[in-house]
Amino acid sequence: MLDKTLTPGAFETRLYEGWERSGAFACHPESSAQPFTIMIPPPNVTGSLHMGHALTFTVQDTLIRWRRMQGRDALWQPGTDHAGIATQMVVERLLAAEGNQDRRSLGRAAFLDRVWQWKAESGGTITQQLRRLGASLDWPRERFTMDEGLSAAVREVFVTLHRQKLIYRDRRLVNWDPKLQTAISDLEVESREVKGHLWHLRYPVEGQPGEYITVATTRPETMLGDTAVAVHPEDARFATLVGKRVILPLVGRAIPVVADEYSDPEKGTGAVKITPAHDFNDFEVGKRHGVAMPTILDAEGRVFLGEIEGELRAVEGVADPDFLRGLAGQDRFAARKAIVARLEELELVEKIEPHTHQVPHGDRGGVPIEPRLTWQWYADAATLAKPAIEAVETGKTQFVPKQWENTFFAWMRDIQPWCISRQLWWGHQIPAWYGPEGMIFVEKTEAEAQAAARAHFGRDVPLERDPDVLDTWFSSALWPFSTLGWPEQTPELAKYYPGDVLVTGFDIIFFWVARMMMMGLHFKGEVPFRHVYIHGLVRDEKGQKMSKSKGNVMDPLELIDAYGADALRFTICSLTGPGRDVKLGRKRVEDFRSFGTKLWNAARFLEMNGIAPDPTWDPASATTPLARWVLDAANRATAEASAALEAYRFDDYAAACYRFVWGSFCDWFIEFAKPVFNGPDGPEKAEVMGAAQHVLGTILRLLHPSMPFVTEELWDRFGYGPEYSLIRTAWPEAVPVADAEAAHAELDWVVTLITEVRAARAEVNVAPSVTTPLLLKDAAPESLARAARWIEAIRRLGRVTEVTPLEGEAPKGVAQVVVGEATVMLPLAGVIDFAAERARLLKARGAAEGDAKKIEAKLGNADFVARAKEEVVEENRERLVAAKAEIARLDAALARIAG
């Protein structure tokens, strides 16, 4: 006997372990079944489950469970990525907290040992938490981007792309994070609005005492590296100065005034200082004009004079080398203050304006990034992107919703060289060895590099490996095939590549989607996935992004503890519409929990009535309208649920299930079945019981993808199959139902009758304890027959004693409702509130009249009749006839109570 209340905590862990133990999550490479593959976008190994994960993995698990039930050989590939910067930061913090020596004094090898140790201890957090959510990942296949196999794939890809000249070394400006002291990619930089200043600085014109050109800058400290001043070629104000030189204050170096369209006459003073080694735009200007590009800040963002030392000159009232030497080694922000102060003393500051502007920050380190000229490894993203763009253009990969393709195209068509090297220790060390004479040997192993060097030099030479590692996304980009064993040709690779769908948020289109597409197409010649399903972000109930600083984060595990994983998952499905963010408050989960409870209680009621699975029961044999009706409704729900999942409409899927279970099965089928269950044994009872067990089974299967736990528990408890077997039971299909239309019409009539009677009673204030007979006026024989067949249900649900045709005159004191052709009377003399009854009838008449008028107007329009589709015109004609008939019956009813 089921407990009175649903307690998800009582079975979730047991069921998950049962599934996992029985191998229910495993794919079957050897089977001939059509595969269905989802590659998990690997979560960060440092991560723990947050609501965004709950959303994305609920969606993925729903798809995987559904396709698995459809008989597909489902592979949901689990694993995590090594998260270079994040993990290194975590372990460095750990070392500091333990009072240990820092990474550099520990040494690379010892530090990496410590990272692996951390990974072994704490790296599996999220994979454990995913189990709480019910995620049916194929755990024995779990991969980690630093695994040997995946690392081999990384080396293979790097060496191959290098040979193809799609990976190269270059010295150009990179986004440098002075805190983490590494290059980072454009995507790891986020703009933050900062309240700063716009400093207007005077640069004296060479040889023309008292004349200045004023430049405006937000970063005065970079002036040490200025090598030009740019003005717009058509800016008349500066026309005479172009080609002249100005003296760089403090430094004393003379630098040219150049004409360049980069300078915007509308902005600042119209003249802009050019610091090629410290600004991306200035770098381009500098290249165009062939000026020097000295670096004046070191890796930690401190003033560095090494590259301008030789050019320092003392100029009276303008430049002061001794002051500059005193700045060496100072932090960039301290230097800014000192430089501004000194320039003010020299009266070279014209004015200082408050200025709010966007400053690029490193998303991990959180400090302003510093563009820096360094040697780095780059991937030729533009070349790699071309096939990826084409794959989306030709529909080989399709985005759902489609509008995200624009975002993808916009970024991919303007893609910049991808800086793939990072000055970190944790990650895939770049397989490049440096030898004498600037020779670089890119090989998969040190032995091969040495062999290559020997071949080149004709002797053994000392080689030094590049200390840097690759961007984590470089290895993530290979995930769709590296996890399947590539570069080995494995059966898994043959079967599960390309995958079916990648599920992720729009914020990740550039990271996973774009890079997996580029690498997949280049190395496999096929797209890595056919669909990209983009879902929204999880926000709080007010629509705010969840963040620790706002204090509005919700912990999915805490919600699971409180309401069960099914409640959370079903809530997520219900709220996940296309292209929309998900506003999720605790209350929403609490509300949807009641759906699970409703299902549980309905099952419990059936159990109390001896309903048990009967696989031999044949739906096609059903003869009673009730059985046929519920089977037909289940067919419809199945079709709706399947179509919704096919279209990634998780909201429609959840709504279809909800409507059917609550609105049809519980509200009407069970209520209609009660008199049958309480009645005598016989064929009718047997058939309704048969239909009940059949449809309950269908419901459990339909709901399993989104509510795996409660459905499996009920499935097992009822004995629909062995323990833990629902997960591998077939997805329902429509069953044949004879004369479904007739059953539908009959049940609709009964439902309408009961609903109308209830409404009339409620509106004329009849106490629930009062029961009445129903008198049917003008009822067709069919209606009388239906009333007779359903008398028990009508009694029960309509507070009715009996239903009889009206003989002779209508009694005094009746409440009346129109049901189809019949007028139903409830003799309620003495209890009826006549004023209320009259008002009710008038209101119904008003509604019918309003309808009739609208339709008459439509049909009176010659254009409508001539141009609208025939079936629409016909439908309106029928509706008009029905509305007029209803008005007539209501008029008669009103006349009856008038006296």
Residues at the interface with RNA (CB under 7 A): 4-6, 186-187, 191, 358, 403, 406-407, 410-411, 506-507, 541, 543, 545, 575, 577-581, 583, 587, 591, 593-594, 596-598, 601-602, 604-605, 608, 651-652, 655, 658-659, 662-663, 666-667, 670-671, 674, 678, 755, 758-759, 762-763, 768, 799, 843, 851, 858, 861, 863-864, 867-869, 872, 875, 879
- The distance of closest approach from Cβ of residue 14 to RNA in the complex, given in angstroms and rounded to an integer, is 20
- The distance of closest approach from Cβ of residue 602 to RNA in the complex, given in angstroms and rounded to an integer, is 4
- The distance of closest approach from Cβ of residue 139 to RNA in the complex, given in angstroms and rounded to an integer, is 31
Q: Which is nearer to RNA, 538 or 776 (CB)?
A: 538
DSSP one-letter string for 566-583: HHHHHHHHHH--TT--EE
Q: Name the β-bridge partners of 201.
A: 215, 349
Q: What is the largest CA-CA distance in the chain?
A: 123
Tokens of 128: 């454990």
Would you say 524 is a known binding-site residue? no
Tokens of 427: 């990650």
Q: Which is nearer to RNA, 142 or 671 (CB)?
A: 671
Q: Which is nearer to RNA, 337 or 402 (CB)?
A: 402
Q: Which is nearer to RNA, 12 or 468 (CB)?
A: 12
What's the residue count for the chain? Answer: 899
- The distance of closest approach from Cβ of residue 79 to RNA in the complex, given in angstroms and rounded to an integer, is 26
- The distance of closest approach from Cβ of residue 752 to RNA in the complex, given in angstroms and rounded to an integer, is 10
- The distance of closest approach from Cβ of residue 397 to RNA in the complex, given in angstroms and rounded to an integer, is 18
CB distance 355 to 218 below 8 Å: yes
- The distance of closest approach from Cβ of residue 696 to RNA in the complex, given in angstroms and rounded to an integer, is 11
CA nearest 184: which of 451, 340, 364? 364
- The distance of closest approach from Cβ of residue 852 to RNA in the complex, given in angstroms and rounded to an integer, is 11
Q: From CA 806, how far away is CA 827, in angstroms rounded?
A: 11
Q: Which is nearer to RNA, 157 or 703 (CB)?
A: 703
How many other β-carbons are positioned within 10 Å of the β-carbon of residue 530?
Answer: 17
| Helix, strand, or coil (residue 458) | coil
Q: Which is nearer to RNA, 341 or 608 (CB)?
A: 608
Q: Which is nearer to RNA, 5 or 32 (CB)?
A: 5
* Region class of 33: left (phi > 0), else alpha (psi between -120 and 50), else beta: beta
Q: From CA 405, how far away is CA 411, in angstroms rounded?
A: 10
* Region class of 105: left (phi > 0), else alpha (psi between -120 and 50), else beta: alpha
Q: From CA 443, how far away is CA 445, in angstroms rounded?
A: 6
- The distance of closest approach from Cβ of residue 191 to RNA in the complex, given in angstroms and rounded to an integer, is 7
Q: Which is nearer to RNA, 426 or 595 (CB)?
A: 595
Q: Which is nearer to RNA, 337 or 545 (CB)?
A: 545
- The distance of closest approach from Cβ of residue 651 to RNA in the complex, given in angstroms and rounded to an integer, is 6
Tokens of 373: 């000229």
- The distance of closest approach from Cβ of residue 476 to RNA in the complex, given in angstroms and rounded to an integer, is 18
DSSP one-letter string for 515-532: HHHHHHHHHHSS-SEEEE
Q: Which is nearer to RNA, 323 or 409 (CB)?
A: 409
Q: Which is nearer to RNA, 191 or 394 (CB)?
A: 191
- The distance of closest approach from Cβ of residue 611 to RNA in the complex, given in angstroms and rounded to an integer, is 11
Q: From CA 569, how far away is CA 782, in angstroms rounded?
A: 46
Tokens of 170: 């270059």
| Helix, strand, or coil (residue 765) | coil
Q: What's the per-residue H, E or C state across 635-657?
A: HHHHHHHHHHHHCCCHHHHHHHH
Q: What share of the chain is helix, strand, coil (3-state, %, to 5)?
A: 50, 20, 30
- The distance of closest approach from Cβ of residue 851 to RNA in the complex, given in angstroms and rounded to an integer, is 6
Q: How far is CA 95 from CA 100, 105, 112, 473, in A?
A: 5, 11, 12, 26
* Region class of 739: left (phi > 0), else alpha (psi between -120 and 50), else beta: left
Position 51, amino acid: M
Q: How does DSSP classify residue 366?
A: -
No. of helices (H) and no. of strands (E), the chain: 31, 29
Q: Which is nearer to RNA, 67 or 593 (CB)?
A: 593
Q: From CA 645, how far away is CA 132, in angstroms rounded?
A: 23
Cα three-residue angle 824-827-828, rounded to 5 degrees: 125
- The distance of closest approach from Cβ of residue 10 to RNA in the complex, given in angstroms and rounded to an integer, is 12
Estimate to the nearest angstrom the gap between the alpha carbon of 387 and the chain centroid. 25
Q: How does DSSP classify residue 236?
A: G
Q: Which is nearer to RNA, 723 or 763 (CB)?
A: 763
Non-local CB neighbours of 847 within 8 Å, separated by 6+ positions: none
How many other β-carbons are positioned within 10 Å of the β-carbon of residue 296?
Answer: 26
Rg of the chain on CA atoms, in Å: 38
Q: Which is nearer to RNA, 138 or 652 (CB)?
A: 652
Q: How far is CA 650 from CA 73, 569, 575, 580, 729, in A?
A: 22, 11, 8, 12, 21
Q: From CA 763, how far away is CA 744, in angstroms rounded?
A: 28
CB distance 497 to 490 below 8 Å: no
Q: How far is CA 585 from CA 150, 550, 559, 575, 707, in A?
A: 39, 15, 10, 11, 19
Q: Which is nearer to RNA, 13 or 403 (CB)?
A: 403
CA nearest 155: which of 471, 429, 497? 429
- The distance of closest approach from Cβ of residue 736 to RNA in the complex, given in angstroms and rounded to an integer, is 27
Binding-site residues sit at 548
Binding-site residues for ATP sit at 548
